[in-house]
DNA sequence: GCTGCGGTTGAAATCCGTTTCATAAGCAAC
DNA sequence: GTTGCTTATGAAACGGATTTCAACCGCAGC
């Protein structure tokens, strides 16, 4: 079935394509009778202008590209949701690329987005947040960001010149640890997170600093990074519980690991929060549905997505903007932590 | 910064654009020396062909559009993941639209995808699965499906002529209910699901039929549809538990509601599975991380996504295909159900 | 009757690739 | 030397919109 074009419409209406375009976009006055005639014909053929042709000329696609490491982690759908809500305001739609940990997909997707001429990119990369990320790779991302407006979401690329929207993970971790200290804990462990990722590094730094500031000992043997998965939280918690000398509270790198940790505890007959307190990070939707409900630090994922798009839009409009936008995380106290009773 | 085009490359290489295009796509032999010269120049300017221009001519975008009701429900990211894995094989990338229950967004997104000339659409609609969906709306979707290859994922539009990929929800529910019966339950309730959605209707039908076939009574007062959320499972379970005469097992419309139901039970001091057995539907990743681990019917979400793309691709290639592909769900017995002990 | 102006409209250029058709060059065969 | 064939290349058309520039119409004002 042949696609209807403005030419077909113009021909049937006995006008020029320019006029058709004008009624399509309402960009110049058209006599009412002409307009109606054209509109009727468009209606009749169910005319739908070809966005590719339009983009070609306007150099604008109305598309925002999103690159993220794992759509299966509920944190990201939440960010996406926020981004989409905000994108609606400006009529943007989304191109989604999920790298699923395949780091080399990142460059591939960046290239594809370039070619498709998306209006902007929201980058929630995995690879570039490796502590030992190869400079050439960073260089590549930076180069892309110079061609297309790009916002790094929760990325750590400090001096890249790329605009960033982040939650203050350091401050968030401090919040969580302080909470544990305030309710009387002195023996606190840390579970989860790939140790070569910068998130993990930041959180661990905050964790140790807070303990020291409170005059508490940092027990390296209670610090068990691994990965970000539920399984990881479970196995590391098992390790921790099998120690003769064990902490009365643990801080987890994210909610997934916290949920795994709770599971491990329950399986070993260790009660949460009576015997051990656990705090997570992210506040994924399920955090307040697990048993016990998880005390955690909210990243405000939805808000993060919204802000990122808002900032990206400013960037696209070439407005002067700050280089970094930081959202304050928030401590959500629920049931997985409680006052220590010696 | 001006975009580099094939013309720029051609000019600098002192060849015609046709030749440049030929090395770009390897569509005709080019003298080795010429090819190298052109490639060097492309490299130098980091040339990236404009996909819009290409699509305009080739009538092919390499994009698959996905429309889904709620990206925040872990079932959908899982489907998306599968779709993306499969799409990679054929070099397809994805355009994602999340209707978040706003039914009128569906038509809007369909229109946008039409205009963007996506190669195909994966439709996991909400609205069209309403039992009392307005015929005009269905008509609209059908019309779209005639212009662009479209696959309905888990949709119920029986005689629309649109190709469907579904999990057999009826059979799945039977599996769940039979399991409960086999382990000795005779008093079984049903929780969750918007009653005007077809999924709910199908599952309820299977539920009642299975009970009848086993010679058990169908107690309408134990059937409590509501919505698909965790909260819904929680509140409906509370209602159920407050009855004097209550079931010993419940079948939930999905894992979300099952998780909510477990939560409600635990809060009331009712033990799962000792006092009441619960089975879910979907097998979201968290199903085996909650406590107790959830017995559920797996929809094989990832597989569903993969199959849908596979079928869509056949459709795009105009191959002859079946009108419906049905995936067999699978019962996953974990900890939330167990032998009844009178 | 002529000038000027605002509202409408059309012709043609443009965006950036791909593809067709024709031409040119190089070489073997007669 | 001419014919015939293969391989390499270019000119120009094409896809489907938007936009610029100029022209045209009708009418008020002088």
Confirm whether A214 is domain-assigned: yes
- Asked whether residue B95 carries a pLDDT value surpassing 70, the answer given is yes
The verdict on B76 and B152 lying in the same domain is: yes
- The per-residue pLDDT for B62 is 97
The verdict on B80 and B155 lying in the same domain is: yes
- Asked whether residue B138 carries a pLDDT value surpassing 90, the answer given is no
Residue A292, preceding peptide bond in cis (omega within 30° of 0): yes
Average predicted confidence (pLDDT) for chain B? 93
Write phi, then psi, for B181 (nearest 5 degrees): -65, -45
Contact B72 A96 (CB under 8 A): no
CB neighbour list of residue A134: distance below 8 Å, 6 or more residues apart: none
Mean pLDDT value across residues B60-66: 97
Q: What would the pLDDT profile of A247-282 be if each residue is shown by its tens digit?
A: 999 999 999 999 999 999 999 999 999 999 999 999
The domain containing residue A82 runs over which residues?
A: 62-168+301-328
The verdict on B35 and B182 lying in the same domain is: no
The verdict on B292 and B173 lying in the same domain is: yes
Mean pLDDT value across residues A45-69: 96
* Residue B115 to chain A, least CA–CA distance (Å): 5
Mutant choice from B5, B45, B46, B51 vs A, greatest count of A C-beta within 10 A: B51
Confirm whether A337 is domain-assigned: no
Write phi, then psi, for A153 (nearest 5 degrees): -100, 120
- The per-residue pLDDT for B342 is 60
CATH code at position A229 = 3.40.50.2300
Residue A251, CA atoms < 13 Å, CB-side half-sphere: 30
Task: Identify the CA nearest to B15 among candidates B34, B36, B41.
Answer: B34
- Asked whether residue A65 carries a pLDDT value surpassing 70, the answer given is yes
Average predicted confidence (pLDDT) for chain A? 93
Confirm whether B1 is domain-assigned: no
Q: What is the DSSP string of A262-318?
A: HHHHHHTT--TTTT-EEEEEE--GGGGTSSSPPEEEE--HHHHHHHHHHHHHHHHTT
The verdict on B323 and B217 lying in the same domain is: no
Please count the structural domains in chain B.
3
Q: What is the DSSP string of B120-150?
A: EEEE--SGGGBTT--HHHHHHHHHHHHHS-E
Rounded-to-integer distance, Cα A338 and Cα A333, Å: 9
- Asked whether residue A342 carries a pLDDT value surpassing 90, the answer given is no
Q: What would the pLDDT profile of A151-178 be if each residue is shown by its tens digit?
A: 999 988 877 889 999 999 999 999 999 9
Rounded-to-integer distance, Cα A290 and Cα A218, Å: 30
The verdict on B252 and B290 lying in the same domain is: yes
Higher pLDDT, B319 or B98: B98
The verdict on A117 and A156 lying in the same domain is: yes
Rounded-to-integer distance, Cα B92 and Cα B209, Å: 42
**The two structure tokens encoding residue B48:** 């990236």
Verify if strand C has an atom below 7 Å from the CB of A249: no
Rounded-to-integer distance, Cα A299 and Cα A214, Å: 24
- The burial class, CB within 10 Å (0-12 / 13-18 / 19+), for A331 is middle
Q: How many percent of chain B have pLDDT more than 70?
A: 99
- The per-residue pLDDT for B1 is 61
Interface check B74 vs A, CB under 8 A:
yes
Rounded-to-integer distance, Cα B13 and Cα A17, Å: 37
- Cβ contact B19:B27 at 8 Å: no
CATH code at position A18 = 1.10.260.40
**CA gyration radius, chain A:** 26
- Asked whether residue A51 carries a pLDDT value surpassing 90, the answer given is yes
Residue A210, CA atoms < 13 Å, CB-side half-sphere: 26
Mean pLDDT value across residues B293-302: 96
The verdict on B31 and B79 lying in the same domain is: no
Rounded-to-integer distance, Cα B12 and Cα A147, Å: 22
Mean pLDDT value across residues B292-320: 94
The verdict on B160 and B269 lying in the same domain is: no
Task: Identify the CA nearest to B208 among candidates B194, B196, B225, B228.
Answer: B225
Q: What would the pLDDT profile of A69-81 be if each residue is shown by its tens digit?
A: 989 989 999 999 9
Confirm whether A176 is domain-assigned: yes
Report the distance from CA of residue A126 to the C1' of nucleotide C1 in Å, as an integer. Answer: 79
The verdict on A44 and A102 lying in the same domain is: no
The verdict on B174 and B282 lying in the same domain is: yes
Chain B residues within an 8 Å CB radius of A97 = 93-94
Banded pLDDT at B284 (limits 50, 70, 90): very high
- The per-residue pLDDT for A319 is 82
Confirm whether B317 is domain-assigned: yes
Interface check A230 vs B, CB under 8 A:
yes
Most confidently predicted of A177-181, A225-229, A336-340: A177-181
Q: What would the pLDDT profile of B164-220 be if each residue is shown by its tens digit?
A: 999 999 999 999 999 999 999 999 999 999 999 989 999 999 999 999 999 999 999
Give the C-alpha distances (Å, rounded to integers) separating B79 from A72, B67, B252, B285, B331.
10, 12, 21, 12, 19
The verdict on A284 and A235 lying in the same domain is: yes
Q: What would the pLDDT profile of A107-138 be if each residue is shown by its tens digit?
A: 899 999 999 999 999 999 777 788 778 888 88
Confirm whether B11 is domain-assigned: yes
For B47, nearest residue in chain A (alpha carbons): A115
């Amino acid at each position: 079935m042949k696609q209807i074009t403005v030419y077909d419409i113009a021909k049937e209406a006995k006008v020029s394509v320019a006029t058709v375009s004008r009624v399509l976009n309402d960009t110049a006055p058209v006599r009412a009778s002409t307009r109606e005639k054209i509109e009727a014909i468009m209606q009749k053929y169910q005319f739908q202008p070809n966005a590719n042709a339009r983009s070609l000329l306007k150099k604008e696609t109305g598309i925002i590209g999103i690159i993220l490491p794992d759509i299966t982690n509920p944190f990201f759908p939440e960010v996406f949701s926020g981004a989409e809500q905000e994108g609606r305001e400006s009529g943007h739609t989304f191109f989604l690329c999920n790298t699923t940990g395949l780091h080399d997909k990142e460059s591939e997707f960046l290239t594809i987005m370039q070619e498709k001429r998306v209006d902007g990119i929201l980058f929630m990369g995995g690879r570039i947040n490796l502590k030992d990320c190869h400079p050439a790779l960073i260089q590549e991302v930076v180069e892309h960001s110079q061609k297309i407006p790009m916002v790094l979401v929760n990325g750590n690329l400090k001096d890249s010149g790329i605009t960033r929207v982040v939650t203050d993970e350091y401050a968030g971790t401090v919040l969580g640890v302080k909470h544990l200290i305030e309710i009387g804990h002195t023996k606190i462990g840390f579970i989860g997170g790939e140790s070569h990722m910068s998130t993990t590094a930041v959180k661990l730094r905050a964790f140790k600093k807070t303990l020291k500031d409170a005059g508490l000992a940092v027990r390296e043997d209670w610090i068990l990074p691994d990965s970000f998965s539920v399984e990881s939280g479970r196995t590391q918690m098992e390790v921790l519980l099998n120690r003769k000398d064990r902490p009365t509270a643990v801080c987890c790198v994210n909610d997934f690991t916290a949920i795994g940790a709770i599971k491990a505890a329950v399986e070993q007959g260790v009660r949460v929060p009576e015997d051990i307190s656990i705090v997570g990070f992210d506040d994924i939707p399920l955090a307040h549905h697990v048993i016990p409900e998880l005390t955690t630090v909210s990243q405000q994922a939805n808000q993060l997505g919204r802000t990122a798009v808002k900032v990206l839009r400013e960037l696209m409009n070439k407005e002067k903007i700050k280089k970094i936008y930081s959202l304050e995380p928030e401590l959500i106290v629920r049931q997985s932590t409680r006052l220590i009773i010696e």
